[in-house]
Amino acid sequence: MKKLTKKTSTQELEEVKKGDKIADDTGKKGEVSAIEVLQKREEKQFYYKLKGDGTILVIK
């Protein structure tokens, strides 16, 4: 299981793919069912939709 936080490198965030098991620092965890990456000015937003319910968001 990969732990994703604000300190996780952009490269590591980009390597996450569907089917990977991930967790964040608030205790939310699950298997990735979809990924959306948005570029907004200087920041990049990584949305990881989890199977069942929930989304993990990491902003870099």
pLDDT tens figures, 26-52: 999 999 999 999 999 999 999 999 998
- Predicted TM-score (pTM) of the model is 0.92
Domain count for the chain, please give it. Answer: 1
Q: Phi and psi (nearest 5°) for 30?
A: 165, -175
H/E element, 43: strand 43-50
pLDDT tens figures, 2-21: 999 999 999 999 999 999 99
Closest by Cα among 11, 19, 1 to 58: 11
Q: For residue 9, what are the domain limits?
A: 2-59
Per-residue model confidence (pLDDT) at position 59: 95
Per-residue model confidence (pLDDT) at position 42: 92
Per-residue model confidence (pLDDT) at position 18: 97
Opening angle at CA 53, ends 50 and 38, nearest 5: 50
